[in-house]
Structure 1
C-alpha cells in the first residue's frame, strides 16, 4: 500500500505505519480504529486493565445508558425475538459463532468439542445453546442434532439473548459479542478462544481446563460497569460523540497524518458516515438472512443512508435489485402503498417503451421492500448529452410517460392557486447570501400573486401520478423509460408534475443560446408538450403558474449549489420577462 496515503481497512488485521483497521466494536455506536487489528486482534488485548481512575458518576451514567439501550429494550446487534421465552434458571448458555472464529484463527477448539466439554462438566446445570443468526444455521442445527442423538444434554433455543443471559450463571463462546452483552446482566463469561476483552473472563485453551475455569468463574465478582467503561471509553470511538472529528484527527496524527496533510480540517466526519452505512448494511443483512424467499443475496452500494430511509443496490436470488428500508412515519402503510402503486403500473404501462420498476418482495411491518433495478442511465443525463431530433424524441417520450401514468386516474376540477402562493411564501430563504437574489425571489412571488387572480377557477386536470417525476427519478435504456423512486398513489395537478420535470431539467442542464418560453428552453418545453400530456388551455394557464412556483422552490432548495443557483437565476429572469 502506498506510503504517502493513510489506509483504513474494514475488518483488517494489517500492521503497517500508515494503516488503521476498523469495524464495529461489538456494540453500537462504538468502533475500532486500531493500528494492530480489530475485535480479538485489537491492541486492547495487550492492554493491562486498570479499574482505578474512572469517575464513579461517569461510570454510573454510562452503565445506565447501556441498560436503557440494550437490556431494557431487549435489543442486540442482530434482530431478536420479541416474545419472552422460558429459559431454565441457573443454566449455562453457549453461543455459537459460525465459522468466523476459525477463519480468524482465534478458536482454541472446534464447536463440537466445546459443546461436548461444557455439557460433560455442567454439573447438572441445563446447557442452553443458540446458533448464530448470521451463520449457516442449518449446519449449526445439524451439529446440535448429532450431539443430541449421541445423548449429549443440550437445550437448543432461538430465544432473545437477553432472556437467556438473565437466567445464565455463565455464558460460553469463543469470543462473542454476547459475552459483553452478558456483562450488562452481570453474567460472567468463559471463552474458548482469543479475545480482546479477556481481562475479566476465564479463557479455556484446553478442554480439560474447563472445570477449573468454571469453578473460578462462579466465585468471581467483577465490576462489569467499570470494565465496560474502561473498554469502550478508552479504546473505541463513539460515532455519536460530539467530539468525534477531533478525536479522529488526533488518531490520524498519531500515524503521521495530520488534518492538514489529509485535507480534513473543518470537514464533517466521513468515518462516522461510513460507520452508519456499515451498520445499516449489517441490519439489512440480518433481516434478509431470516427471509425464506431470499435464497442468496449480496448488498453492493449504499445509494442512501439517512434518518428517513436506507437504500442499497444489491443482488437477490441472482437478480440485480434495490433494497429499501423506510424508517419514519407509518412504514407499513408506506410499503403497502408503494406495493399497490407498482402493481397498478404493471398493467398501466403495457408498452415496452414505458415502464416502472417492480416490487419483487415486501415486508410492510418491517418497512422493507426489494425492487427490480432499473437499467440504463438517468433520464436527465441522457437528455443532457443528446441534441437535435434525438433530444426532442426523448422529451416527447418523457411527456408520454407521464401522460400514460396519469391517463386512467384523472378528475376535472377548478384551480385554486391561493394554496400554492401561501406554500411558496412560507418557504425559508434565510440562507440567501445576496440581496439581489432575495429581491429576485420576491419578484417571483409577486408574479405568482398577480397570476393567481387570472387563473383562479380555471379548469385543471388532477391525476394520480408519480409526485416527483424529474430527471434523476427515471432511467433510459434501449428505448425504454423506467420510472423509479415511486411511492404510493399521489394526486396532483398534471400541470404541476409537468412543470416540475421541465424546471428540474432547465436548472440542471440548460440549453445555451436558445429561445425560452416561461423561462424554459423551447427545445425542452415544445417537445415535451407534443406528447399531449396537457390540454392546450392549461399550457397557458396552470402550466405557466406552476413553472413559476417550481422555479421559486428550486431557487430556495438548491441555492447553496453555485451552478444550480446561476442556472435558476437565469431561468427566473427569462420567466419574469415573458
Structure 2
C-alpha cells in the first residue's frame, strides 16, 4: 500500500516563501503530515493544476481557493498573527465558526483579558486610539454589484447609511481594487449629495484608530477594529459577525441598535482566535492540526500512534 500523499496548491508568492523556508504555516503543515507517515509536495495552483487535481492520488490543500474535489480542503489566515483555518469551503461565511454560537459566559474573564492585552500590544504597539465622532467605511470592490452574500450592493449601502446616520462618514478605497471611472464618478456624486459623506484614497489604518465605529460589507478592517474596541456595522455575511450589527442576520434597524450595545471584545477575540482557529505559532499546532484533519474525514493518525 502506497504512502498517503498531500499536495499543497499555492499561489506563486506562498510557494516561493515555502521553498525558501520562510512560510511558517505551510512548513509546519508539511512537518505534521510527514511525522505521521504522509508524503507532501507543493506546486503552483494553475488552471491546469486545478483541472487535473481530482484525478491525482491522495489529498489536497488549497490556499484561499475553493477545493476541487472531496479529498481537498482549503486554508486561509484568520486575519491576524499566526491564526489559520483549514476548512471545506473557501467562503468564510460558510465556515463552522460563522454558524457557531459565541459562548460569552463560558470564556474565562481573566484569561481573555490576558489574551487580549497581548494581542492588542502586538497589533497596536504604542499607537494612540481615540474616538473623534466619525464612522469609517472601508470600501471593497465591485461597488454597483449586489452579490449573493451581501444584503445590498456597496453603493446601495452608502445610500442606506447616509439617510440613517447623521455623524460624518469617511469612506476609503481599497488599495488593491481597480475602480472604474463610473464608480468613481458615482462616489463623487454621493459625496456632493450628502455633506456628511466623503471619500479618500489611503489612510485606513490611521482612520481606524480615530473613528467611532466601522461600516462595511465584510472588510477585514472591521475585524481589526475589534482589536481597538471599535464596533462594526456589517452589510454582508462573514465569519466574525457575532458581536457586530449584522444587516444580513438581524436587519438594518436591529443592526444599528447593536452599535450602541457594549461588547466584550476581549472574550470574543479569545474565542474566535484562540479557541476556533489553529495557531501556527504554538507548540501544540501539529497535534491540533492532525486532530482537525481527522474531524474533516482525512485518514490521519495521531503523532503518538504514528
Does TM, scored on the shorter chain, surpass 0.5?
yes
SS in 1 for 2:212: strand
1:501-559 deviation line (CA, Å, top 9, x unaligned)? xxxxxxxxxxxxxxxxxxxxxxxxxxxxxxxxxxxxxxxxxxxxxxxxxxxxxxxxxxx
SS in 1 for 2:105: coil
CA distance in 2 between partners of 1:152 and 1:259 (Å): 59
Q: Specify which of 120, 144, 147 is matched with residue 187 of structure 2.
A: 144
SS in 2 for 1:166: helix
Q: Specify which of 54, 62, 66 is matched with residue 9 of structure 1.
A: 62
Q: Specify which of 157, 163, 168 is matched with residue 126 of structure 1.
A: 168
Q: Specify which of 191, 201, 217 is matched with residue 244 of structure 2.
A: 201
Shift of 1:198: 1.5
Q: Against the structure 1 CA distance between its residues 58 and 3, is the aligned structure 2 distance closer, same or farther, given a 3 Å change threshold? A: farther
Shift of 1:158: 4.1
Higher Cα Rg: structure 1 or 2?
A: 1
CA distance in 2 between partners of 1:118 and 1:221 (Å): 21
Q: Specify which of 23, 26, 45 is matched with residue 76 of structure 2.
A: 23
What residue is the counterpart of 1:43 in the other structure? Answer: 96
What residue is the counterpart of 1:153 in the other structure? Answer: 196
What residue is the counterpart of 1:213 in the other structure? Answer: 255
SS in 2 for 1:52: helix
Q: Where does the alignment leave 5 or more consecutive residues of structure 2 unmatched?
A: 1-53
1:338-363 deviation line (CA, Å, top 9, x unaligned)? xxxxxxxxxxxxxxxxxxxxxxxxxx
1:68-125 deviation line (CA, Å, top 9, x unaligned)? 1222366xxxxxxxxx99x9821121111113996973222111111111111112x0
1:397-426 deviation line (CA, Å, top 9, x unaligned)? xxxxxxxxxxxxxxxxxxxxxxxxxxxxxx
What residue is the counterpart of 1:444 in the other structure? Answer: none
TM-score, normalisation: structure 1: 0.39
Q: Specify which of 268, 275, 281 is matched with residue 240 of structure 1.
A: 281
- Structure with the larger RCO, 1 or 2 (CA within 8 Å, 6+ apart): 2
C-alpha contact (below 8 Å) 1:21/1:34 kept by paired residues:
yes
CA distance in 2 between partners of 1:103 and 1:120 (Å): 19
Q: Is structure 2 residue 229 aligned with structure 1 residue 173?
A: no
SS in 1 for 2:187: helix
What residue is the counterpart of 1:109 in the other structure? Answer: 152
CA distance in 2 between partners of 1:120 and 1:4 (Å): 56
CA distance in 1 between partners of 2:291 and 2:281 (Å): 17
CA distance in 1 between partners of 2:297 and 2:67 (Å): 17
What residue is the counterpart of 1:98 in the other structure? Answer: 141
1:214-258 deviation line (CA, Å, top 9, x unaligned)? 2x1342111011001111112211221222122212222223434
Aligned pair count reads 251
C-alpha contact (below 8 Å) 1:190/1:213 kept by paired residues:
yes
Q: Specify which of 264, 269, 272 is matched with residue 228 of structure 1.
A: 269
C-alpha contact (below 8 Å) 2:169/2:197 kept by paired residues:
yes
C-alpha contact (below 8 Å) 1:16/1:35 kept by paired residues:
no
Report the aligned-residue RMSD.
Answer: 3.4
Q: Against the structure 1 CA distance between its residues 220 and 101, is the aligned structure 2 distance closer, same or farther, given a 3 Å change threshold? A: farther
SS in 1 for 2:196: coil
CA distance in 2 between partners of 1:178 and 1:241 (Å): 25
C-alpha contact (below 8 Å) 1:131/1:141 kept by paired residues:
no
